[in-house]
Structure 1
Amino acid sequence: MNGSLILSLTLELTIGFLGLITVTYFLRKTQINQITPFDFISALVLGELVGNAIYDEKINIFYILYAILLWTCLMYIVELVTQKFKKTRNFLEGNPSILIRHGQIDFNQLKKEKLDINELQSLLRTKDVFSIREVEYAVLEPSGSVSILKKSKYENPTNKDLNLQEKPVYLPVTFILDGEVLWDNLKASGFDEKWLNKQLHANNVNKIKDVLYAEWKKDEGFHIVQYKKEG
């Protein structure tokens, strides 16, 4: 392989890579489990188009850009169509399916979704439900995940149920990660290097590099996890 081929392949891979990142950012979902089967297939097709274009010597960089642009436009049009025309959502995105209703399994829906009892139990376990008897409703989402509404006697009691006084909730802030200080987080929380060193010394830590993870929470203070020492 000569230098010109290496340069050409490097350029095509880089542009293809950046193009896929752009498509992902432009059409991204907030969570990976929100991806519908159509989105998943579209991603596979786009990856195949780019891959074939990159390794086919007869295809130049402009074909790669055209393939990415065209497929992105088609996906974007589908997104617009599903937003403006509700009737198209059933076909392109799918509908939720109620697998358990009032505590009873809907076997017709199971058959329609091509699921068996073992697969249903597996889906329930992903929601920390290990017995079907605990479930009042189970809804299979278009993404393939399942949403659970437990029977009232199996629901965890809330502070309101127990007549407990409400307490403020604070978000933990990471100060050290993999032996490096996150200075922006530290300063945003109103602390400085002197305060951090004081907390480290209080926990018998001499070097920041010895810290795997350290966080601070307003109601619980400083928490530190050190690298496990060998031997």
Structure 2
Amino acid sequence: MYGDIALKLIIGMLGVLFFLRVSGKAQMAQITPLDTVSAFVIGALVGGVIYNPDMDAWHLVYALALWTLFNLLIRYSMRSRFLRRLIKGDSVYIVRNGALNLKVFRRNLLEMEQLRTLLRSKGIFSMFDVDDVRFETNGEVTVSTKGETAESYLLVNNGSILPSSLNNAGHDEKWLTERLDRLGFREIGNLYCVEWTPAKGFYIVSKDGKIQNGNVAMTSDSVRDDISA
């Protein structure tokens, strides 16, 4: 009996490590809703099988393999803009230009004291010092204080435009496609990511490794060569 529990425990540990590697989570630093569900399910699977004498180690292997495949299917489906927003959610501004966005604030079931606690954890003790506060998908906040340099915006992620980021940047899809076209990027689906910083311009990486950094174009291979030099 004890040997069977030990075997299941070892298989469970190896299975969870394999799941984290396959799903791209070497460490679960940023917890999204999908990560939370995965953690609960894996814990229930491993714990339920280990202490159930009617289930052997192969049941655990099968359950972990099935859940890993299902999880990968969900992550693949998140390439769809609608499903990604439904599963992962969006980061939203709860404070913009020093003004509290009460609609977003209440929709996320926040209270003022919660916000003040989060700000204090960032070393900010007064709303007078706050310019922007973004509520991230993992429940953390990103704070821009007054006088800071303008932040950057991720406008394209894995070939898909992020409407919420475009809206936060104060632009629309027409503006984005026109500027990308001027830079020689006509198919947004071929872009891995597009970041825009008001003071510096675009940082673009295409899926074939081409990088556009402001006015400088390079390849991912040349970047690796520069780092190793």
TM-score by length of 2: 0.61
Match for residue 96 of structure 2? 101
Over residues 42-83 of structure 1, what are the superposed CA-to-partner deviations in whole Å (9 max), with x where a residue is unaligned?
11111111110111111111110011001111111111111x
Alignment partner of 2:70 out of 46, 71, 74: 74
Question: Could you tell me which of 135, 138, 156 is aligned with 2:133?
Answer: 138
Superposed CA RMSD: 1.6
Compare 109-118 and 128-137 and name the one that shifted more: 128-137
Instruction: Specify the alignment match of 1:20 in structure 2.
Output: 16
CA distance in 2, matches of 1:131, 1:15: 51
Preserved contact between residue 49 and residue 60 of structure 2 (Cα < 8 Å): yes
Query: What SS class does the counterpart of residue 35 from structure 1 fall into?
Result: coil
Matched, 1:124 2:116: no
1:93-132 deviation digits (Å, cap 9, x = unpaired)? 0111210011011122111000100000111122221111
Match of 2:106 among 108, 111, 115: 111
Deviation at 1:40, TM superposition (A): 0.9
Tell me the amino acid that sits aligned with residue 121 of structure 2.
T
21-30 vs 85-94, which deviates more?
Answer: 21-30
Query: What letter is aligned with 2:40?
Result: L
Q: Which runs of 5+ in 2 are unaligned?
A: 150-229
- Amino acid in structure 2 at the alignment position of 1:93: K
Residue 31 of structure 1 and its aligned partner are, at CA, apart by 5.7
1:8–1:27: structure 2 CA closer, same or farther, 3 Å change rule?
same
Q: Which has the larger radius of gyration?
A: 1
CA distance in 2, matches of 1:28, 1:122: 31
Amino acid at match of 2:96: R
In the alignment, structure 1 residue 64 sits paired with structure 2 residue 31: no
Secondary structure (helix, strand or coil) at the match of 2:10 reads: helix
Q: How many residues align?
A: 149
The 1:18/1:92 distance shift into structure 2, 3 A limit, reads same
The equivalent of 1:41 in structure 2 is 37
Unaligned runs of 5+ in 1: 157-231
Structure 1, residues 178-201: CA drift from partner, whole Å, max 9, x if none? xxxxxxxxxxxxxxxxxxxxxxxx
Instruction: For 1:14 and 1:58, locate their aligned partners in 2 and report how far apart those are by CA, in whole Å.
Output: 18
| Aligned position for 2:3 | 7
Judged with a 3 Å threshold, the aligned counterparts in structure 2 of structure 1 residues 13 and 79 are, in CA distance, closer, same or farther, namely same
Normalized against structure 1, the TM-score is what? 0.61
Aligned-residue sequence identity (percent) comes to: 30
Say if 1:30 and 1:20 are closer, same or farther in 2 by CA, change over 3 A: closer
The answer to whether the 8 A contact 1:33-1:145 is kept is no
Tell me the equivalent position of 2:80.
85
Offset of residue 30 of structure 1: 6.3
Match for residue 173 of structure 1?
Answer: none
